[in-house]
Amino acid sequence: MAEASVTGVCGEAMAAMAAVEGSSSPAGLTLGRSFSNYRPLEPPGAARSRRRPLGPSPTFPALGIGMDSCVIPLRRGGLSLVQTTDCFYRLVEDPYMMGRTASANVLSDLYAMGITECDMLMLLSVSQSMSEEEREKVTPLMVKGFRDSTEEGGTAVTCGQTMVNPWLIIGRVATVVCQPNEFITPDSAVVGDVLVLTKPLGTQVAVSAHQWLDNPERWNKVKMVVSREQVELAYQEAMLNMATLNRTAAGLMHTFNAHAATDITGFGILGHSQNLEKQQRKEVSFVIHNLPIIAKMAAVSKASGRFGLLQGTSAETSGELLICLPREQAARFCSEIISSKYGEGHQAWILSIVEKGIIEVLSRGATAAALAPDNSNVSSEPCS
């Protein structure tokens, strides 16, 4: 869209130049001479820079598409701008929890780089189809949930943008300026490392199954493997997980010398693992042994013929961090994150090893250790 706009303006400028040339243009001024070297969207001096060798800076990594945040080296002071943005449609029925989830979802992009503090902008779109009464009730609850989560994350909403739209949307922009030692670039995994997951998988399945309770056609496909009560429990577990910040894990990434991390969202755990593997400076791959999954959601995924939860392709919202840690630090990380010093604490699982070769998901029957007691509505499922 940006290029189309510039091209259009450029076309108008050329037409204006042609009109001038047709009347009283200065001698020797021609379109060919004026625009032959023009390149849309190219800043001054870029022609000289094209002669330089291409490639990532030796100091700053070139984070590819599919990674969590952008890292932009600033011109002065050795600082970097780290930034991310995201938004989504109505996912859960509770407006307050939707606001909390939207906040936690975007913060996880920075948490995946070990960043625990940032500045926030809120993006809010109110649906045109909502009545005035619905707007007055729903919007303040969404904003409150958003603000509560932001404050829990140690920051605040400083500004934002509100609009009317066909859809109800909420999101945010998270920005921080920091020194190189304040963030962890996702590129330093080595053979022998292990990967730790900070939340169970299955949020998309749980939310969908909850919606199917009122859809007989869909419910009939899964009712033999799960009860309505179990779906309600899974839905509550999913909402709590989506609204839970990964901030504690982000801080512990520095304590336990994390080598890389990503958060698991739209690409599923397999897609995000593949993206993370491609980002590494050394030739490594991640072999996934075990998937912690919200109870009964693996069975629902299989019975419905959707999602691919056990294959690692099911999308997550405000998902877990997948953290690459030195082998000797992983058990201590899992023990520390569940500690009561961080509030309620929560479980983490070791589920992958870092090897040399091609990324794969092991067949059903492989197992991996969970290094903390299981006190949640979660089952550990082998991959298939």
- Same domain flag for 294 and 324: yes
Q: Are 150 and 249 within one domain?
A: no
- How far is it between the farthest Cα atoms of the chain? 85
Does 256 have pLDDT greater than 50? yes
pTM of the full predicted structure?
A: 0.78
What integer is the mean pLDDT of 169-190?
91
**Domain encompassing residue 212:** 193-361
- The phi, psi pair for 118, rounded to 5°, reads -160, 175
| Domain-located, residue 343 | yes
Residues above pLDDT 90, as percent of the chain? 54
Q: Is residue 24 included in any domain, yes or no?
A: no
Domain count, the chain: 2
Q: Would you give the DSSP letter of residue 172?
A: E
Ordered alpha helix ranges (H), 124-267: 132-152, 203-212, 216-222, 228-243, 247-255
What percent of the chain has a predicted confidence (pLDDT) above 70? 74
Question: In the prediction, which pLDDT does 7 show?
Answer: 31
Is 111 in the same domain as 229?
no
Q: What is the mean pLDDT of residues 222-251?
A: 96
